Structure 1
Amino acid sequence: MEGTSRDDETHRDGRADDEEHDDALARARAGDEDAFARLVTPYRRELRLHCYRMLGSTADAADAEQETLVRAWQGLGGFDGRHLRAWLYRIATNRCLTLIERRARRELPVGLEGGESDVSWLEPLPGSWLEPSPEERAVDRETVRLAFVAALQHLPASQRAVLLLRDVLAFRAAEVAGVLDLSAAAVNSLLQRARAAVADGLPPSATASGEGLGTLADRYVRAWEAGDVDRIVALLADDVRYSMPPLPRWYAGLDDVTGFLRSGPMRESWRFLPTTANGQLAFGTYLRDAERGEFRPGGLDVLTVAAGRVTEVVAFLEADLTAFGLPASLPDER
């Protein structure tokens, strides 16, 4: 009996997938919500990440993802049945563009002039939002780094959308043109300008990894929990930057950061728990509250590491630590 070729199997599997897709689409159009869920569930995580990159806010991104699915459900009658992923991205991207028009740009304190207080701050991204496989997580990690997402927020909305669709999601120029109702020439022009602007404002992405990063993290925690400024400073780069949204003040350079640490945080007692945020090393920080007999949340510190040194710390003082897999408080075991 003759065996089946790999090409035959692939063709048969592809045809079966097409038939399953067509059947689910027909059922969804007839009002079957479970069939609709089967169609869109494979794309939900990446759509949510796309909305986060566009908007710089996890709350806004989650809302935009939900609104995308509602609009997709309501618009099934006008969907031609082809290129479901591109159709969903069209809805999501245009929803984000509408929100960008209505809302203030998300910022980090570094670079702001005059200590503005009325600012919408960039929000950190929990590791649970990233794709589960190591290969996909590696790609996601580079495109959700705080510096990259912050740089995106300074692009005009159309440039932001084109850059993400082309360079992050690998859509063809013609597909992007269809998503945004632009000509291919306009897409290419926007892409060139966006690439140049992001390249100018983006720091190097080199970072410690594996054992080196683990060692640095351990030393960083021990130094903070011991209240040892000198040991903390030994881990910082000369041009380190330190900020604490929603406070607009930021510190630049080793002397400035050292002075801040000595005058403020080192007067308290801390506990640090490791996590990840925006694909970067992060710590949930807990401040001792002697009256309550516990360590209460102090914030989420997201670190940028290059050449074995911490080059930036962004301490999100109002972050929900439970969203990053951390406890809401710690017992004081003294």
Structure 2
Amino acid sequence: MSEISSRAADRAAEGAGDPDLVRARAGDGTAFTRLVAPLRRELHAHCYRMLGSTHDADDALQDALLRAWRGLARFEGRSSLRSWLYTVATRTCLDLIGNRGRRALPVDLGPSSDRAVVGDAPLTDVAWLGPYPDTGLAGGPADPDARYEQREAVELAFVAALQHLPGNQRAALLLFDVLGFSAAEIAAVMDTSAASVNSALARARKVVAEKAPSRTQQQTLRKLDDTRLREVVTGYSTALERGDIDGLVALLTEDVTWSMPPMAHWYRGLDAVADFALRIPLTRCGSWRSVATGANGQPAVACYLRDDDAGAHLAWSINVLTLRGGRIAEITSFVGPEHFAPFGLPASLP
């Protein structure tokens, strides 16, 4: 992955002579808010890559900006304000990683199940990876290639692979390969040597190469015409709403996987996935409604399940679809209404 820094944002919000910076150093909170506004989204995405959770990213960014506000007098302008804010945000995330550990997907916990597990209960003692709304990627560089790179850096497979790295390796990889920091700059961020940074980078790249596919979703989606992409997303939604197992199976690869954090069980292969789909979501759960959305730079479907007591379809899961060619190779259903608000989605549908 290449550098995705926004030089326009640098020019707009940095420099020792920036009037807002001068005012902010003098204690003007409104000026500080204006100063960091162009950078909030990219800083939030960075925190998500580091932490694997939108909610943790919210907390980290809030804490980082508070730290930056309190320490603004120490910013001397020798680096860009953007770089300094990334330093503060990265250190904040490293503190959180040290306290909370890494986030997981069901595939990290054990082997797949051959048949549907009825009554699968959520595991509440696991810190689960969460989805990231594509709206958080808006407002980035104008160059389409840069937007693709930004989306690659939040793809599920990449963020999941990052979770297998210690915090220092995770930070080094993101700062160098995604954001374009030099080894010397990263060493200053992490209070270590450039040699240690280069060593951390080498180890991190090895793990990510083993855990993440060589072909990114952005490469796949660029080769897929819009008509086929709509057919896949609409076909998935329609099959779920109609209980159509044949329609669903027609969309899947032979080695498809389906996981549902916070449920521990997951399924691999067409037979196992079809058995799960037929026995649970397509028949046992009841009436579904769905809304197309985007998560982690990938197509996604927000699913709502009918609740007769509430008289409505209630938010149930954000289903992130990983494609290979024109078919679905992975379905990751992030179960829980707490995932819907960051996507700007309602808590219920009629």
Same fold (TM > 0.5): yes
Of residues 322, 341, 345, the one that matches 1:304 is 322
2:288 is the counterpart of 1:270 = yes
Of residues 217, 240, 249, the one that matches 1:233 is 249
Residue matched to 1:76: 72
Task: String of CA shifts for 1:257-281, please: whole Å, max 9, x gaps.
Answer: 1111111111122222100111111
Q: Which amino acid aligns with 2:186?
A: V
2:59 is the counterpart of 1:43 = no
Quick one: distance in 1 between partners of 2:58 and 2:327? Answer: 34
Residue matched to 2:270: 254
Residue matched to 1:128: 135
| Structure 1 gap segments, 5+ residues each | 1-13
Secondary structure (helix, strand or coil) at the match of 1:121 reads coil
Per chain length, whose mean CA-contact separation is higher, i.e. which structure has more relative contact order (CA < 8 Å, sep 6+)? 2
Of residues 90, 97, 101, the one that matches 2:98 is 101
Quick one: distance in 1 between partners of 2:68 and 2:344? Answer: 31
Residue matched to 1:52: 48
Secondary structure (helix, strand or coil) at the match of 2:305 reads strand
Quick one: distance in 2 between partners of 1:19 and 1:302? Answer: 43
Residue matched to 2:178: 168
Quick one: distance in 1 between partners of 2:341 and 2:62? Answer: 22
Tell me the percent identity: 52
Distance 1:294 1:76, change over 3 A: closer
2:89 is the counterpart of 1:89 = no
Residue matched to 2:231: 215
For the 8 Å contact 2:251–2:328, the answer to whether it is kept is yes
Residue matched to 1:284: 302
Q: Which amino acid aligns with 1:259?
A: D
Taking structure 1 as the reference length, what is the TM-score of the superposition?
0.89
How far off its partner does 1:17 sit? 7.4
Secondary structure (helix, strand or coil) at the match of 1:260 reads helix
Number of residue pairs matched? Answer: 317
How far off its partner does 1:25 sit? 2.5
Name which one, 1 or 2, has greater alpha-carbon Rg: 1
Quick one: distance in 2 between partners of 1:124 and 1:18? Answer: 35
Quick one: distance in 2 between partners of 1:129 and 1:177? Answer: 28
Q: Which amino acid aligns with 1:38?
A: R
Quick one: distance in 2 between partners of 1:58 and 1:36? Answer: 24
Quick one: distance in 2 between partners of 1:179 and 1:246? Answer: 34
How far off its partner does 1:227 sit? 0.9
Secondary structure (helix, strand or coil) at the match of 2:319 reads strand
Task: String of CA shifts for 1:188-208, please: whole Å, max 9, x gaps.
Answer: 111111111101110232424
For the 8 Å contact 2:240–2:281, the answer to whether it is kept is no
Distance 1:94 1:283, change over 3 A: same
For the 8 Å contact 1:86–1:179, the answer to whether it is kept is no
Secondary structure (helix, strand or coil) at the match of 2:89 reads helix
Taking structure 2 as the reference length, what is the TM-score of the superposition?
0.85
Distance 1:199 1:227, change over 3 A: same
For the 8 Å contact 2:51–2:97, the answer to whether it is kept is yes
2:259 is the counterpart of 1:243 = yes
| Structure 2 gap segments, 5+ residues each | 1-10, 113-121
Residue matched to 2:342: 323
Residue matched to 2:332: 314
